[in-house]
Structure 1
Amino acid sequence: MAIDTLRLDATEAARRLHVAPGHTPIPMLARVLRERGVGAVVITGAQHDWLDTPHARGWLTRPRSGPTDHAQRFQQALRQGWVAADAAVLARLPDRADASDLPVLSCDEVPLEWVPPREANEDLGVYAIVDSVARVQACAQAGARLIQLRVKRPTDDPTLRDDIAEAIQSTRAQGATLVVNDHWRTALALGAPALHLGQEDWLGLAREDRDRLAVAQQQGLRLGMSSHSLWELCRARGAHADLIACGPVWPTLTKAMPWRAQGLDNLAWWVKMAGRPVVAIGGILAPEQLTQAAATGAAAGCVVRGLGSNPGQTLPAWQQAWTTGRLLPRPGAGPAPHPTLGSTPT
């Protein structure tokens, strides 16, 4: 009978595979266990756990060494409907966790140094996401301070470089920050102030490309990264993201995705735990929703379809909604988030 999930230490993993402990790399132990029918494997250690699951693979590194026997908490998370990668994160959090307790997740077989939290109490306001230079300019002229240019074009498109360059110049003239989505090489070449990458984009980078982005960050580039689940939050922290998006807060039709809505409760938990400014994204279609997102302490709230055909006319209402929300008392985060991916809780 196939085993769905195993959480064990390296010695037990070696025993199950009838090999001598300490002679086989831990990632290989997990890989062989999965090849033999185990659905997901977590091999625990003093400070690093190796994850090999259908959703995530990498080293989960905690801020400090500590007790390694969290099997009960891990199993409880699985029963609540969390997938194994998320359950592995929850099993490593203390009862009253905060941003200083969040593990980081590597994207390869090299463990990361733990990344401490930073001051995250920024107020960046309405984060306008648009698909053309003209709309970038309209948003900047209307007072948006953070604008993402999201254009789905091939990198070798002859107009792409010119459009990004014009958008950078237009936003800079208005005192706004342009965030380039995906096209990171062009963004770096043109001196864009900020870049946004999805998790798959980050995983697809070669190590030298990640190193290149790290150098650019040291020189002032701000890196934003998406996150939809606990392990993605840990990976974003491990990537030294400067802004971490939490979504979808509400159901969205802008992108097809497997994730359930985060809701305001998960958004508030992200704000507490991320150790970075958090951006609320997904399904924000009415100013009242933006007010609610702002009240959680999020640093920015993304508006996409809600900008309509004339951002210059619609942005003032969105900006007022954001300001109203930031003045409200924070609701506070609950002790634990709810699952956004996985089976129905039992």
Structure 2
Amino acid sequence: MDTPASTDSPAGTSTDAVLRLTAHEAAERLGLPAGSLSVPELARALRDQGASEVVVTGDPHDWLDTAHASGWLTRPRSGPTDHAMRFEAALARGWVAADAAVLARLPEHATALDLPVLSVDETPARWTAPLTHVPALGVYAIVDSAERVRACAEAGAGLIQLRIKARRDDPSLVPEIRAALDAASSHGRTPLVINDHWRLALSLQAPALHLGQEDWLALRPTERTTIAAAQARGLQLGMSSHSLWELCRARGAGADLIACGPVWPTLTKDMPWHAQGLDNLAWWVRMAGRPVIAIGGILAPEQLEQCAATGAATVCVVRGLGNDPRATLPRWQRAWDAGHHHAAPRPAPAWPHPTLTPGAA
């Protein structure tokens, strides 16, 4: 990592009440005997004393208790020894503490073999190896009705997501999802992804499910176990990610597909994230170890072609489908083919750029 000169902060301290220290230093700072509290308890005690964010480093796990993420960050193999300098450098470059903790653990010329995983609770997530081959999936159509699922399936979309923003007890959901599944399976068996409604997706034996990070965090441990059991039977799990720690959490959750967004600014959702751009998208492709979904602000075929040229496994089209996906999808598919088979794929940068302003919720 190309870093500026190290700060002269004493061990166990950082700027603006962001603490990065070992468990021994944390206990010493609190005036407690070593081992008297668990690492998460030490971090909470430091927060209670006024620290805004705490990263407790160890081997092979770091504990994060930050404004944006908490959990065990588990690295797959030995990381850099100059963690303190790299952490401070990332903060100085505008990364929030949770992302700085990820960057501090990545070596020079990092690959997917180096990406840590992040847990959702006090049980460390299991690190699994990246895929050796990531399939190309084509155009990913996102629609809100069974009728539009049928249109996209007839037009040959690579993936289709049914995204219906409705309460889970809405009586129209079951027949609509069932009709969408029938429409997808009867037209070339296009994989249908159900957004959010995981219970119905499992009960109706949908082939794939997509969840946002907040949805995943809101699940009880037993519910996450239920989804994992469905994955073992063949369910594909997609998960959103907008930051480095969310990428690590998606990997720790066992996601089969990981969305990177927004690639460009989008009006579809109100969110605090800066645009990823094609540079971050290419970095996600290199580091995720899973098929990467490009999403957000993709309104023209030229944009889809650029996303495909990064190596993204699939690229989402929402508003660009227009009123008749049967008429619009061929143009998007030509753009996918051009980008996917581009003679000079877009290279990934050495390091990504920040996607959240420090202090943003």
Please report the TM-score for the alignment, with normalisation by the length of structure 1: 0.97
> Contact between 2:80 and 2:107, CA under 8 Å: does it hold in 1?
no
What is the CA–CA distance in structure 2 between the aligned matches of 1:176 and 1:145, rounded to whole Å? Answer: 7
> C-alpha offsets along residues 177-210 of structure 1, whole Å, 9 cap, x if unaligned?
1000000000000000000000000001111111
User: Equivalent of 1:286, from 295, 300, 323?
Assistant: 300
User: Equivalent of 2:177, from 164, 168, 172?
Assistant: 164
Between the two proteins, what is the percent identity of the paired residues?
65
Q: Judging changes above 3 Å, is the alpha-carbon distance between structure 1 residues 66 and 125 closer, same or farther for their aligned structure 2 residues?
A: closer
Task: Tell me the CA shift for residue 69 of structure 1.
Answer: 4.1
Letter in 2 for 1:101: D
Aligned pairs (5 A) from 1:304-319? 304-319=318-333
Letter in 2 for 1:266: N
User: Equivalent of 2:240, from 197, 209, 226?
Assistant: 226
What is the CA–CA distance in structure 2 between the aligned matches of 1:221 and 1:111, rounded to whole Å? Answer: 23
Other-structure match for 1:87? 100
Aligned pairs (5 A) from 1:19-34? 19-34=32-47
Letter in 2 for 1:281: I
User: Equivalent of 1:143, from 156, 181, 189?
Assistant: 156
Task: Tell me the CA shift for residue 66 of structure 1.
Answer: 5.0
Aligned with 1:151: secondary structure?
coil
> C-alpha offsets along residues 69-100 of structure 1, whole Å, 9 cap, x if unaligned?
41000000001000000000000000110000
Letter in 2 for 1:62: R
User: Equivalent of 2:356, from 336, 341, 346?
Assistant: 341
- Consecutive unaligned residues of structure 2, counting only runs of 5 or more, are 1-14
What is the CA–CA distance in structure 1 between the aligned matches of 2:257 and 2:283, rounded to whole Å? Answer: 15
What is the CA–CA distance in structure 2 between the aligned matches of 1:14 and 1:77, rounded to whole Å? Answer: 25
> C-alpha offsets along residues 222-261 of structure 1, whole Å, 9 cap, x if unaligned?
0000000000000000011000000000000000000000
What is the CA–CA distance in structure 2 between the aligned matches of 1:22 and 1:182, rounded to whole Å? Answer: 41
Task: Tell me the CA shift for residue 68 of structure 1.
Answer: 5.0
Task: Tell me the CA shift for residue 114 of structure 1.
Answer: 1.6
- Consecutive unaligned residues of structure 1, counting only runs of 5 or more, are none
Aligned pairs (5 A) from 1:105-116? 105-116=118-129
User: Equivalent of 2:84, from 59, 66, 71?
Assistant: 71
> Contact between 1:129 and 1:148, CA under 8 Å: does it hold in 2?
yes
What is the CA–CA distance in structure 2 between the aligned matches of 1:31 and 1:103, rounded to whole Å? Answer: 23
User: Equivalent of 1:199, from 204, 207, 213?
Assistant: 213
Letter in 2 for 1:238: G
Task: Tell me the CA shift for residue 10 of structure 1.
Answer: 0.2
- The answer to which of 272-281 and 17-26 deviates more is 17-26
Please report the TM-score for the alignment, with normalisation by the length of structure 2: 0.93
Task: Tell me the CA shift for residue 121 of structure 1.
Answer: 2.3
> Contact between 1:47 and 1:61, CA under 8 Å: does it hold in 2?
yes
> Contact between 1:121 and 1:297, CA under 8 Å: does it hold in 2?
no
> Contact between 2:79 and 2:106, CA under 8 Å: does it hold in 1?
no
Other-structure match for 2:53? 40
Letter in 1 for 2:351: A
Task: Tell me the CA shift for residue 4 of structure 1.
Answer: 2.5
Other-structure match for 1:121? 134
Letter in 2 for 1:105: L
Q: Judging changes above 3 Å, is the alpha-carbon distance between structure 1 residues 220 and 147 closer, same or farther for their aligned structure 2 residues?
A: same
Q: Judging changes above 3 Å, is the alpha-carbon distance between structure 1 residues 287 and 66 closer, same or farther for their aligned structure 2 residues?
A: closer
What is the CA–CA distance in structure 2 between the aligned matches of 1:181 and 1:77, rounded to whole Å? Answer: 34
RMSD of aligned alpha carbons = 1.2
> C-alpha offsets along residues 22-60 of structure 1, whole Å, 9 cap, x if unaligned?
120110111111122111100000110000000000000
Letter in 1 for 2:259: A
Other-structure match for 1:240? 254
Task: Tell me the CA shift for residue 63 of structure 1.
Answer: 0.5
Aligned with 1:188: secondary structure?
helix
Letter in 2 for 1:317: R
What is the CA–CA distance in structure 2 between the aligned matches of 1:165 and 1:119, rounded to whole Å? Answer: 34
What is the CA–CA distance in structure 2 between the aligned matches of 1:260 and 1:228, rounded to whole Å? Answer: 9
Q: Judging changes above 3 Å, is the alpha-carbon distance between structure 1 residues 205 and 102 closer, same or farther for their aligned structure 2 residues?
A: same
Aligned pairs (5 A) from 1:318-337? 318-328=332-342, 329-337=344-352
> Contact between 2:80 and 2:105, CA under 8 Å: does it hold in 1?
no
Task: Tell me the CA shift for residue 343 of structure 1.
Answer: 3.6
Aligned with 1:157: secondary structure?
coil
- The answer to which of 260-269 and 16-25 deviates more is 16-25
